[in-house]
Amino acid sequence: MMRPGGGGGGGMGGGMGRGGPMRSLIRDPSVVGTKVPKGTFRRILRCLAPYRGLLALFFGLTIVDSSIGVANPLIYRAIIDNGILGHSAHLIVTLALVIAGLAILDAALSISEQLCSARVAQGLIYDLRTRVYSHIQRMPIAFFTRTQTGALISRLNNDVLGAQQATSDILSSVVGNALSVVMVLTTMFILSWQITLVALAILPLFALPARYMGRRLGAITREGYVLAAEMNTTMAERFNVSGALLVKLFGRPGEEDAVFSARAGRVRDIAVVQALYARVFFVALTFTAALATALVYGWGGLLSLHGTLQVGTLVAMTAYLNRLYGPLTQLSNANVDVMTALVSFDRVFEVLDLPSMITERADAVALRRGPATIEFDHVDFAYPDAKDVSLASLESVAVLENPPSTQVLFDVTFRAEPGQLVALVGPSGAGKTTITHLVARLYDALGGAVRINGLDVREVTLDSLHAGIGLVTQDAHMFHDTIRANLSYAKPGATEAELLAALADAQILPLVESLPGGLDTLVGDRGYRLSGGEKQRMAIARLLLKAPDVMVLDEATAHLDSESEAAVQAALKVALAGRTSLVIAHRLSTVRDAHLILVVDGGRIVEQGTHDDLLERGGLYAQLYQTQFRHQADGPEPGDGMDSPG
């Protein structure tokens, strides 16, 4: 019996192996109508360029392998016609040894093909994944505020893998099978063109129903992908501390179970149908091959009886049928394979082609370390439009919304001298956090300039800029790793003494020392094994370890109790000595210690001065003091303060 999808004497190998006619047929045929940008094919060739030597070797091995597949039936023919019927024992033994030798050669070729194909396939995955990851890492914060994390991960994994798999299928299904079919058909026509035409006439009996079944199977396969993605999203959102807590507190686990169970049940049903269709496909292909074999033996046998066809030729023709139907079936869907590869690569290129709004100039200079002066010179700012920072396909929408850009900062001007502590105060949404983000160049100003030591931040290298700035946000992020790893992220290679000193300055060393694992204790997903205050102090320790020239504290002590806050404030005074600091202030102690207070309202600095000066003026700051700060002077409560930052 035939081996469905079999080509030459060997196989193409797993990494770039022949996926069989079934996978080719279940591809989405609608992809053929998809328009891909001009030049996509040339870009794919450039991606494969580093592997042209391996590809050339792979094609050479494929040619030799296919030749062996064509040669074997001819040897069978010679054994029967010249050896058995010719009563030549020597010829029979010799040709049998040749078949054995070819089998050994074929095995060696198959291993070599596997090695070449695996190197090309996995190398392509590596190249694309690292390029996409590196590019995404360099995208601005605005990109991440809009993009779905799951969509990004899908591009990095599924689309890159799809591009590699589609390329592998083209090399095997299109190139390899085309070569095999040409060689087999040529030989068959030479041996008996009449039987060859009969064999080809039977093919539509299988190919046409198979393509119809393939479309049906492709539809339910796509549905399965969608359902699997929905289940993955559900698990990702529910299987973290915040999601699990929400489900439990709102008493919805039963409904969650029902929804998930329904989706999982449909995926199960689809898998059953897929398995059934795959078996029907295999049986149909086998039946077609058996029918063709019966016709060839029947007609060929009659011809042999009349002496017009040799018995060996009849056996060879039957053997060639086993190498014909599978490749021909796959080639019938070659256009879908090609377009699938183009579309998969295009989805990857779509991410790589999205430019970053925050780029480094070719003539950028390094920002020198040391005492820093921060200057805002008539700065205007508006958050970028969606079309400039994201892709609709990464936001699970058909078309990106494009409302008119709204300006959020207007003519912001101030100067912070080296060693000064500048406090930003104001109502929620005033623009305080936006100002701190411009210092670190997480966004670029729309108008005016942000300068550090007289240099526009757009004119300095990003690495030197970020190396000199430390940031602690209200919701400090921790990786799901050890305390040591989270602290060392600020200073790779830091000694244990440096880690302990930073923890001591942040007033959290006693807690770490009390843990059984010490510095090697896992903090959990996003640091959820730590309390809010503990996580905040850990973030401050990380900042102290980095020891930047400019410190930005966004409500950095908002989650500390009074005792811990006093200790941390004392540590910060030492750490901030000689360093310029911007603090979004929510506590009276921070405001009183500030060298300069900036009162932000509606994206403008409406007042600036010291605590006492601003109180005397009786403006917005005096009102905020009465409503937000004054009760802290009488007896602060942990966590009390103004609204969350703007």
Average pLDDT over residues 573-585: 78
Evaluate if residue 238 carries a pLDDT over 70. Answer: yes
Is residue 603, in this structure, part of any structural domain at all? no
Average pLDDT over residues 346-375: 87
Evaluate if residue 161 carries a pLDDT over 80. Answer: no
Average pLDDT over residues 16-20: 43
Residue 340 or 117, more confident: 117
Least confident of 194-203, 433-442, 568-577, 614-623: 568-577
The number of beta carbons lying within 10 Å of the beta carbon of residue 525 is 14
Is residue 133, in this structure, part of any structural domain at all? yes
482 secondary structure, DSSP code:
B
Evaluate if residue 410 carries a pLDDT over 90. Answer: yes
Whole-number percent of the chain with pLDDT over 90: 17
Evaluate if residue 640 carries a pLDDT over 50. Answer: no
CA-wise closest residue to 581 among 376, 413, 416: 416
The number of beta carbons lying within 10 Å of the beta carbon of residue 586 is 25
Say if CB 590 and CB 601 are below 8 A apart.
no
Which pLDDT value is given to residue 634? Answer: 54
Q: How confident is the model at residue 15 (pLDDT cuts 50, 70, 90)?
A: very low
Evaluate if residue 115 carries a pLDDT over 90. Answer: no
Q: How many domains does the chain have?
A: 1
Which pLDDT value is given to residue 411? Answer: 94
Average pLDDT over residues 503-518: 87
Q: How confident is the model at residue 622 (pLDDT cuts 50, 70, 90)?
A: confident
Residue 128 or 646, more confident: 128
The token duo for 501 is 């000193």
Evaluate if residue 29 carries a pLDDT over 60. Answer: no
Is residue 131, in this structure, part of any structural domain at all? yes
Average pLDDT over residues 524-535: 76
Helix H, strand E, coil C: the string for 408-460 is EEEEEEEEECCCCEEEEECCCCCCHHHHHHHHCCCCCCCEEEEEECCEEHHHE
Q: Cα(434)–Cα(141) distance, rounded to whole angstroms?
A: 12
Q: Give the mean pLDDT of the chain.
A: 79
Q: How confident is the model at residue 10 (pLDDT cuts 50, 70, 90)?
A: very low
CA contacts within 13 A on the Cβ side of 406: 5
Instruction: Sort residue 573 into left (φ over 0), alpha (ψ -120 to 50) or beta.
Output: alpha
Whole-number percent of the chain with pLDDT over 70: 76
pLDDT tens digits along 316-358: 888 888 788 777 767 766 666 666 677 778 888 888 888 888 8
Least confident of 23-32, 100-109, 203-212, 523-532: 23-32
Residue 241 or 645, more confident: 241
Least confident of 194-203, 279-288, 431-440: 279-288
The strand order across the sheet containing 596-601 reads: 469-472, 550-554, 580-584, 421-425, 596-601, 604-609
Least confident of 268-277, 335-344, 524-533, 545-554: 335-344
Q: Please provide the distance, in angstroms rounded to a whole number, between the alpha carbons at the two ends of the chain.
A: 73
Which pLDDT value is given to residue 334? Answer: 65
Is residue 459, in this structure, part of any structural domain at all? no
Which pLDDT value is given to residue 202? Answer: 78
Is residue 631, in this structure, part of any structural domain at all? no
Give the distance from CA 528 to its chain's centroid.
Answer: 25
Q: In whole angstroms, how far apart are CA 355 and each of 352, 400, 492, 518? A: 8, 16, 30, 43
DSSP string, 227-258: HHHHHHHHHHHHSSHHHHHHHHHTT-HHHHHH
Which pLDDT value is given to residue 168? Answer: 73
Q: Cα(289)–Cα(21) distance, rounded to whole angstroms?
A: 14
CA-wise closest residue to 183 among 67, 75, 314: 67
Give the CATH number of the domain where residue 80 resides. 1.20.1560.10
The token duo for 138 is 């360099």
Is residue 509, in this structure, part of any structural domain at all? no
Residue 388's contacts (CB-CB under 8 Å, 6 or more residues apart) are 357
Least confident of 325-339, 393-407, 456-470, 499-513: 393-407
Evaluate if residue 532 carries a pLDDT over 90. Answer: no
SS3 473: coil
Evaluate if residue 300 carries a pLDDT over 60. Answer: yes
Which pLDDT value is given to residue 86? Answer: 86
Q: Cα(128)–Cα(47) distance, rounded to whole angstroms?
A: 8
Q: How confident is the model at residue 646 (pLDDT cuts 50, 70, 90)?
A: very low
Q: How confident is the model at residue 380 (pLDDT cuts 50, 70, 90)?
A: very high
Strands 447-452 and 580-584, sheet pairing = unpaired
Residue 367 or 251, more confident: 367
Burial (Cβ within 10 Å: 0-12, 13-18, ≥19) of residue 470: buried
The number of beta carbons lying within 10 Å of the beta carbon of residue 110 is 19
Domain with 340, as residue range(s), is 28-192+309-352
Residue 15 or 307, more confident: 307
Q: How confident is the model at residue 409 (pLDDT cuts 50, 70, 90)?
A: very high
Q: How confident is the model at residue 273 (pLDDT cuts 50, 70, 90)?
A: confident
Residue 317's contacts (CB-CB under 8 Å, 6 or more residues apart) are 73, 188, 191, 192, 195, 196, 199, 296, 300
Q: Cα(268)–Cα(593) distance, rounded to whole angstroms?
A: 64
The number of beta carbons lying within 10 Å of the beta carbon of residue 458 is 17
Residue 186 or 25, more confident: 186
Which pLDDT value is given to residue 396? Answer: 57
Evaluate if residue 403 carries a pLDDT over 70. Answer: no
Q: Cα(331)–Cα(184) distance, rounded to whole angstroms?
A: 14
Q: How confident is the model at residue 17 (pLDDT cuts 50, 70, 90)?
A: very low
The token duo for 247 is 């489900």
Is residue 503, in this structure, part of any structural domain at all? no
CA-wise closest residue to 148 among 433, 313, 393: 393
Average pLDDT over residues 383-406: 66
The token duo for 521 is 């204790």
Does the pTM exceed 0.75? no
The token duo for 578 is 């000689």
Residue 285 or 304, more confident: 304
E strand or H helix at 407, and its extent? strand 407-416
Which pLDDT value is given to residue 14? Answer: 36
Is residue 369, in this structure, part of any structural domain at all? no
Sign of CA dihedral 363, 369, 371, 375: positive
